[in-house]
């Protein structure tokens, strides 16, 4: 997985609460057997109306946000399905960091598996950052220092954020979970041997 440490980029404000995974990536794009190429379908039904015309009022369609690498979203972002297509489409679009007051649990975890940093800040700060994003070209995100810095009216601003140290380390080092767990294969085998004695029916030979 790609390592995450520092990021500089502009941010797209999405002023909707409870953005669900069907909004992030509608189901007609889930029929892929690849992880890549989903970026163009990100927020598809918010970007285009039913006749395929661009909805100009939606931030992703506005030139000023071209090339943005940060989303600033409403609370309970990513609720709904477990589909990892949601973070895949976000990452494929070029977004590496999301800032929101809260996230749905599965989505939040899926972000870390895909090199996306989901930052949690209080609602008031997020709302203010959404306003700022309309005029500010660059936000600097430093995961090591756990801060967001930007210039506003020629004044340097800094906001710090909290993050679980384990999740932070995984992002910074770009760790491959599976490789790490496989190093513990013998513990897994020990567990299985023990479990087969304690609850043997789990290891029965029944097949369907």
- Told to check if 106 binds another protein by CB under 8 A, we report yes
120 binds another protein (CB under 8 A): no
Please, which residue, 3 or 113, has the CB nearer to another protein?
A: 113
CB of 156 to another protein, least distance (A): 30
User: Does residue 165 interact with another protein by CB under 8 A?
Assistant: yes
Span 138-157, contacts to another protein by CB under 8 A = none
Show contacts with another protein in window 12-31 (CB under 8 A): 15-18, 20, 22-23, 26-28, 30-31
Q: Pinpoint the alpha helices (H) of the chain.
A: 21-24, 44-47, 85-93, 105-112, 123-133, 165-173, 177-182, 185-198
Question: Cβ 207 to another protein, closest distance in Å?
Answer: 7
Our finding on whether 119 is near another protein (CB under 8 A) is no
Q: Extract the tokens encoding 35.
A: 């992880």
Measured between alpha carbons, how far is residue 61 from residues 18, 85, 154, 155 in Å? 21, 21, 28, 29
Supply the minimum distance, in Å, between the C-beta of residue 106 and another protein. 6
Q: Which listed residue (9, 13, 87, 118) binds another protein by CB under 8 A?
A: 87
Letter string b/e over residues 130-167, b meaning 16 or more CB atoms within 10 A of that residue's CB = bebbeeeeebebebeeeebbbeeeeeeeebebebeeee
């Amino acid at each position: 997985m790609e390592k995450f440490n520092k990021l500089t980029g502009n941010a797209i404000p999405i002023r909707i609460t409870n953005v669900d995974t069907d909004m992030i990536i509608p189901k007609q794009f889930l029929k892929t057997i690849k992880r890549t190429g989903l970026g163009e379908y990100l927020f598809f039904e918010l970007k285009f109306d039913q006749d395929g015309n661009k909805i100009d009022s939606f931030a992703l369609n506005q030139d000023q946000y071209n090339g943005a690498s940060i989303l600033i979203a409403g609370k309970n972002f990513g609720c709904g399905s477990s589909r990892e297509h949601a973070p895949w489409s976000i990452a494929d679009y070029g977004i590496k960091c999301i800032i929101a007051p809260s996230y749905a649990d599965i989505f939040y975890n899926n972000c870390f598996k895909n090199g996306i940093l989901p930052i949690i800040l209080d609602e008031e700060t997020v709302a203010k950052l959404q306003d700022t994003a309309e005029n500010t070209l660059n936000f600097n995100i430093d995961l090591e220092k756990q801060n967001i810095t930007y210039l506003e009216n020629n004044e340097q601003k800094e906001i710090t954020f909290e993050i679980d140290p384990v999740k932070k380390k995984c992002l910074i080092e770009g760790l491959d979970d599976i490789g790490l767990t496989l190093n513990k294969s013998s513990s897994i085998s020990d567990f299985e041997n023990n479990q087969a004695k304690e609850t043997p029916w789990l290891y029965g030979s029944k097949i369907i």
